[in-house]
Copies of this chain bind each other. A is one copy, B any other.
Amino acid sequence: MKSIPDHLQQLQGKSVDQIETPALVIDLDAMDRNVQRMAEFARKHRVRWRPHAKLHKSADIAHLLEQAGACGHCVQKLSEAEALAVLGVNNLFISNEIIAPTKLRRVAQLGAMLDARGGRLALAVDSEIGIELLALAVLEMSSGPLIDVFVEVDVGQGRCGVPPGEAALELARLITGHPQLRFAGLHAYHGSAQHLRGVGERHQAIARVIEEVRRTCDLITAAGIPVPLVTGSGTGTLIHEAASGVYGELQAGSFLFMDADYARNEREPAQPAFEHALFVKAQVISSSGRHAVCDAGHKSHAIESGLPAVHGQGDATRLRFANGGDEHGILHPDNADGRLPALGSTVWLIPGHCDPTVNLHDYLIGVRGGLDGGLVESIIRVDARGALR
């Protein structure tokens, strides 16, 4: 476990003003409200929620989510699972394929470790080879654990997963032939549907997903294999999967922090009113009179889903963020009088995409009482930062 450096430890209890820039700051009040909204939503729809930890990569946040009702956590990589498991996170689903035998041996070891603590490890598969190599890795252990295996179905993302229907049944059958593996159901996630802007587009995309998933479940069940669970969904479409009667578990993670990309989605009334809780605090370090420059570039925030929005500007001082490279952001006046922030002043940015932004930082700075005048309450370690393997 990384220890928190002294200068960050000493920030606790201090004013927001004392946070050095650039820094990734969590509005803890907004985050807590997002968690409550998600918990309430899941209770109302009687679905489990297993938020995706690829967003926050933090054991502290994972525990907080469990206390609010999360049934476990998704991760995208084995090393993420290992980093969280070592800090007491017990129920983990690696919602991704693993093929390397050395990694599958570590999957079996991690499964045994979680088993012994009353937890459980799950993995997604989309190939016969993947299933056979996993089964072999578990068999090689003297007392191998029981691993939950989800068949990943490609429901429109066009990435991993077998097509809905027969191909999924074949893999389910193969899994049930291995006593050391448990067929846990289907993993069906349509990532690109999360960011379709219109309410109607998202509804339509997920209606097709639900139809394909239902047909696949029926096919597998008809072959005598029960489908214990369908898991998937994200922050953009969760109202549809939750109401489907087919999905039993939601994997949404971004609801916790939100980002500028999600803010561009048309809201639907049924959707919980998630708020921005993730900000880059930046400082103006240069001003030409025509533009200002802040000290946050794309080493501070990911820009692959768009540039950050500038937060909390009054009407008279709107600013537009333009790409200034790795370490700088260019601030253009977006107002009639062309006013620019003074040298040394603070600018708050809403990152374009939350997940890869968090992955740039070793620590999140948790603030209570608002960005304007609040206090630093906690320093949150990004335990699985850079855990790519």
Contacts and interface: CB of A to CB of B under 8 A. Distances in A.
Interface of A: 20-23, 54, 76-77, 96-100, 102-103, 126-127, 129-130, 154, 158-163, 191, 283-288, 291, 293, 295-296, 298-300, 302-304, 323-328, 330, 343-344, 355-356, 359-362, 385-386, 388-389
Give the number of copies in the complex: 2
Contact of A77 (B327, B386, B388): B327
A283 to B, nearest CB: 6
A326 B54 contact: yes
Contacts of A326: 54, 76, 355-356, 359
A388 B22 CA distance: 6
A44 B319 CA distance: 47
A353 to B, nearest CB: 8
A127 B287 contact: yes
Contact of A285 (B96, B154, B291, B304): B96
13 contacts: A22-B388, A96-B285, A97-B286, A99-B283, A99-B284, A130-B343, A154-B288, A158-B330, A159-B286, A298-B356, A326-B355, A327-B388, A361-B386
Contacts of A158: 291, 330
A248 to B, nearest CB: 24
Given A298-B302, A360-B360, A327 B76 contact: yes
A369 B21 CA distance: 42
B159 A293 contact: yes
A213 to B, nearest CB: 18
Contacts of A162: 288
Given A283-B100, A286-B97, A327-B96, A356 B299 contact: yes
